[in-house]
Chain A
Amino acid sequence: MNAIGWPDWRRLNQEGIVFAIAVVLFIAAAICLPGFFAADNLVAIVRSVSVLGILALGMALVIIGRGIDLSAVAIMAMSVAWYLQLLNAGTPDGLAFAYVLAGVLAIGLLNGFLVAYADVPAIFVTLATGSFVFGYVRSQLITQDAVPVPQGHWVELLGGLRFLDIPIEVFVFAALAFLVFLFLRFTKWGRFIYFAGDNPVAARNIGIPVRPMLVLRYVLSAVVALVAGLLTAASLHSINTRVVNSTLLYDIVLVAVIGGIGLSGGRGGVRNVLVGAALIGILLNAMTIIDIPLLYQNLIKAAILLGAIIVDGIINPRDEQTAQQGDI
């Protein structure tokens, strides 16, 4: 990568490979599939990966800092399900939202605290908190898998919002991507994330507040998940907590990793998320237009993930000097 941050095309890295695949797929689909290159369909592609992309932005922040957040989908679905349940039970909107926001922040803080100060590997912490959030909310706070949005509530109106015929999710995705980009590139703490992710011990030795920053990343990831959940509910007029059992979590990791954000930390940025999301969006849309059955879609998607991970392993080899036990 050169100074401006554009990919260096002489050295093909994973992002470059994936970007090339996405472009080739896009051109092939535009030529072969009638209706693919229509403005509406292009908007639909971006929209179909907006929520996924938003979640992947949160995940990217965590992964760059050498972590992972497996509780993202649980936080997304359960926070919004609880919010809607409160509303349906007649709790005032402001109060209900305050409860839910407090809950989301608390889980983010808990994740961050356990990883940063208790030194428990992120993969175990977030797996556990994700299960806890799902189990607690599902058994104690809501009565149904699916919770509807109350009629006429702002979440429902949000789903109908359009600018220039483009759904609101697309703008939220774009705005969040831009914010994360600014954070990672132009703020001190954003730059520090790369140092901390690349070599946490060295980062700490030069005086970077590694632990508070870690906590912040998990909190940000949790808040991003809440936003993604609200957008999902806005579009579907309900939230179904079954999504916690779906492959969504793996798809989020897929988008981040396939775009070239190394799981060993310290590498990648918003652009990688966008490239990963673009590939997945084009792929899914084209496969749906061709009418490929879901089983084969999953197979194709999985094969691409596997390929990306192998390429990642070859291009970004594990750094034996800074790797430590408990890494993912």
Chain B
Amino acid sequence: MKLFRTLMAAATALAVTAFVAPAFAADDPGPAAYAQALKGKRVMLVPLAMGFDLAQGWAHYLKKEVEAWGGTFETRDPNWVVDAGAQAITDAIASDTRPDVLIIHAPDLNSYSKLMKKAQAAGTYVLLVDNPANFPADAFVGSDWDKLGQLEAEAAIKGCGENSSKKIGLVQGDQANSSSLYQYAGIMKVLDKHPDFQVVAKPDSNWDATTSRNVTTTMLQQHPDICSIIDFWDGDATGASAAIRDAKLDGKVFLVTTGGGEKAADCDKLVDGTYGAVVMTDLARQSGDMNAIIKFLLQSGQPAGTSHTYIYTLEKATTKADLKPDSCWDLKALQAEAAAK
């Protein structure tokens, strides 16, 4: 009986604490303010296209967070067509459901500048992701392409080694996209400090794998002793790698590229030796940065277009030697997760 009474007392005490505890939490003004500022807010992502790893990764992580705080997340798919992207942004600004935050993946330095200004004037915060543009957005989240180019050049120099031909070939993207222009500038900065290394050719791939293959084939024929090639995007570096394979120079030419750190696109190809080094963007962290700045802007109360923040993602050149199980993220797994819901 005594035991029973003790147990009852203990249970009552537990129950009382259980009821009292939430009362403490309710005193924290944070969650309420947070919920009030964010609830029902609209976030829209307009990437270059929805069909590639970066955009799908961003969309996955953004959607998860935005929906968790009670907002609406939408994407538009311009499918690499600049006009279609402009149309999507125009429609979004004009619609009744104007997004509160517009995340734009700019195709070049200038195309969307006027539209982004319009969006800010309408009260929408504008975030630029990945590609910088000539526009003071509320925030830029993405790579410092200059730094990224420097990392690529350093990886290429290391991949070549001291006793090599010291000849490096570049496969640029194009002459309009900021990621290509700044990447080139960064590479040249490093190579200027290593005058013994020279760039023997620097054709453009126009981000197309077949073109990358053709120009790399020519480059390797003109300079069979090239020790490293830097291709400006993993989306077309498959072409450069095909040219190296065809020239039977596998293992002799150190191929450096950059990408979103997706498993099939980057890590698997480091493992099988297709790429020597990949400067990878930590996509989950980059998406986390976007989520944080979105939450900040929506709570700040400041009008759109009043502050300009740059949040550069930490980049690192990864080689086969320093691959870890978590070096890459797996698009297939994310898609399976989304499909399971």
A contact residues vs B (CB 8 Å cutoff): 34-35, 38, 40-41, 44, 47-48, 51, 138, 143-146, 148, 159-160, 167, 232, 235-238, 240-243, 245-246, 284-285, 288-289, 291, 293-295
Contact = CB atoms under 8 A, between A and B. Distances in A.
Nearest to A292: B203
Q: How large is the interface on B (under 10, 10 to 19, 20 to 34, 35 or more residues)?
A: 35 or more
Given A146-B52, A235-B213, A294-B175, A289 B222 contact: yes
B49 A145 contact: yes
Interface in B286-341: 331, 335
23 contacts: A40-B221, A44-B221, A48-B217, A143-B335, A148-B264, A232-B210, A235-B246, A236-B209, A236-B213, A236-B242, A238-B209, A238-B238, A240-B235, A240-B236, A245-B81, A246-B208, A284-B214, A285-B218, A289-B222, A291-B202, A293-B204, A294-B206, A295-B175
B164 interface: no
B87 interface: no
Contacts of B213: 235-236
Contact of A245 (B79, B221, B242, B246): B79
B239 interface: yes
| Residue with the greatest number of chain B CB neighbours at <10 A, chosen from A51, A245, A294 | A294
A294 B203 contact: yes
B218 A236 contact: no
A206 to B, nearest CB: 44
Nearest to A232: B210
Contacts of B203: 288, 291, 294
A295 B236 CA distance: 18
A245 B235 CA distance: 15
A288 B214 contact: yes
A143 to B, nearest CB: 6
A245 B210 contact: no
Contacts of A245: 79-81
A186 B339 CA distance: 55
A137 to B, nearest CB: 11
Interface in B196-248: 201-204, 206-210, 213-215, 217-219, 221-222, 235-236, 238-239, 242, 245-246
A291 B210 contact: no
B58 to A, nearest CB: 15
Q: Which of B174, B217, B235 neighbours the largest number of chain A CB atoms within 10 Å of its CB?
A: B217
Contacts of A294: 174-175, 203-204, 206
Contacts of B174: 294-295
Given A145-B52, A238-B209, A44 B204 contact: no
A326 to B, nearest CB: 27
Contacts of B56: 144
B51 A145 contact: yes
A159 B242 contact: yes
A151 B335 CA distance: 21
A159 to B, nearest CB: 7
A51 B221 contact: no
Contacts of A145: 49, 51-52
A236 B238 contact: yes
Nearest to B173: A294
A308 to B, nearest CB: 22
B295 to A, nearest CB: 30
